[in-house]
Amino acid sequence: MCSGNALALLQRECPQCDFLSFKDYPAPYSSSRFFLPAFAAGLPALLRAMRLEKKRFDEILAENRFDLIISDNRMSVYSAAIPSYFISHQLRYSLPRLLYPLELMTMPFNSLFHRHFKGLIVPDISPDNGGKNLSGKLCQSCVPSTFRRTYYAGILTSTRKMNVAEDLDYLAIVSGPEPQRSALEKIILRQIQKLPGEKAVLLGSPRQERHEKLDATTTVHSYVSTEEKARLMNRARFIISRSGYTTMMELAELEKRHALLTPTPGQTEQEYLSRYYAREGWFLSKSQYCLRLTEDVKAAMPYRGFPEIAKTEENVKRLYREVLGRHLA
């Protein structure tokens, strides 16, 4: 259940599957850096979209039979009659320091929606295991009804390590909501040719068909398959990307040590993760407004990448054994 670019991508990747088109939640991103005013203004539309989503999903349930529901960050996709799990790395939201009291309130706010689910699945290691996790404070909640039902599954990604040579010097992955995706695309394409060696740019636009060489060492793709993207990431010695959590799990799975992160302006989750990773000495972060690729990639080289953690294959087996399998036997 999805829409827009996500739906277009999945239809190309899995043509044999059935798809139910759900509108995305209203995205409170703007061309400015100021997320909170846009979010506050868009909150009524978000709640209205969730009510419509629940109504539509109930209609789907009336016509279909399901053994298990796993909702990927869709607050209204659940059923009281079917085991329903909510999967997300965010049990709280990150807000600017001056709004920290409001940030604390996001935990009980989220718990109002989480109560409809049998359990919560966090694709990260537990913050209580003594090591550093990928999502930092985002996967932590002080609400008893939430943390008692939270299962920390470890990273979960479809990207796998391949036995290929690291023969691509730089891979730039452009992604995220508009208009910031297009803004980053312009910045990357303007600067990428100045970097030495072999380079590839993925524009994250599955509705386009663009595959071209900017010069003898720089290739641009509007879209590649999931398998080809994984192959390019495996080949890359250095990755330039947003700090979205899905991409961060891919970097951890592939044990990539060299990357430059540029968070989507105004998206507080990515901005927090970028700061957190830089503070831990894992990856350098730079605002897209002051990107200077030739200098920034040099500054990023001393960073050491994520610490070693359990990989997806092991985590999926444990998740099935300890949580999901009981509903599917």
pTM over 0.85: yes
Q: Please give the distance of CA 235 from its chain centroid, rounded to a whole number.
A: 21
- Alpha-carbon gap, residue 169 to 196, rounded angstroms: 8
Token look-up 């470890």 returns 154
Number of domains in the chain: 3
Same domain, 82 and 146: yes
**Residue 221 included in any domain:** yes
At 269 the three-state DSSP class reads helix
Same domain, 41 and 141: no
**Segment 79-116, tens digit of pLDDT:** 999 999 999 999 998 888 888 888 889 899 889 899 99
Question: Which residue, 111, 133, 130, 129, is CA-closest to 120?
Answer: 111
Same domain, 174 and 291: yes
Question: What number is the average pLDDT over the span 185-198?
Answer: 97
Beta bridge partners of 150: 120
Whether residue 5 is predicted with pLDDT greater than 60 in this model: the reply is no
Question: What local confidence, expressed as pLDDT, does residue 11 receive?
Answer: 59
What is the DSSP code string of 205-254? -TT---EEEEETTEEEES---HHHHHHHHHHBSSEEE---HHHHHHHHHH
Question: What local confidence, expressed as pLDDT, does residue 35 receive?
Answer: 54
Same domain, 218 and 283: yes
**Residue 162 included in any domain:** no
Same domain, 190 and 286: yes
Strands (E), 84-243: 84-87, 119-122, 150-152, 170-173, 199-202, 211-215, 218-221, 239-241
Same domain, 264 and 279: yes
Question: What local confidence, expressed as pLDDT, does residue 280 receive?
Answer: 96
Question: What local confidence, expressed as pLDDT, does residue 32 receive?
Answer: 44
**Segment 229-281, tens digit of pLDDT:** 999 999 999 999 999 999 999 999 999 999 999 999 988 899 999 999 999 99
* Bond from prior residue into 265 cis (ω within 30 degrees of 0): no
Give CB contacts under 8 A, 24+ apart, made by 7-16: 8/206, 8/207, 9/206, 9/223, 12/206, 12/223, 12/225, 13/225, 13/226
CB 69 within 8 A of CB 82: yes
- Alpha-carbon gap, residue 94 to 96, rounded angstroms: 7
Same domain, 238 and 141: no
**Residue 285 included in any domain:** yes
Composition of the chain by helix, strand, coil, percent to 5? 45, 15, 45
Tokens of 264: 């989507």
**Residue 189 included in any domain:** yes
Token look-up 């009291």 returns 101
Question: What local confidence, expressed as pLDDT, does residue 12 receive?
Answer: 60
Same domain, 227 and 192: yes
**Residue 23 included in any domain:** yes
Query: Domain limits at 216?
Result: 170-300
Beta bridge partners of 139: none
CATH number reported for the structural domain that contains residue 215 in this entry: 3.40.50.2000
Tokens of 100: 């920290």
Same domain, 186 and 219: yes
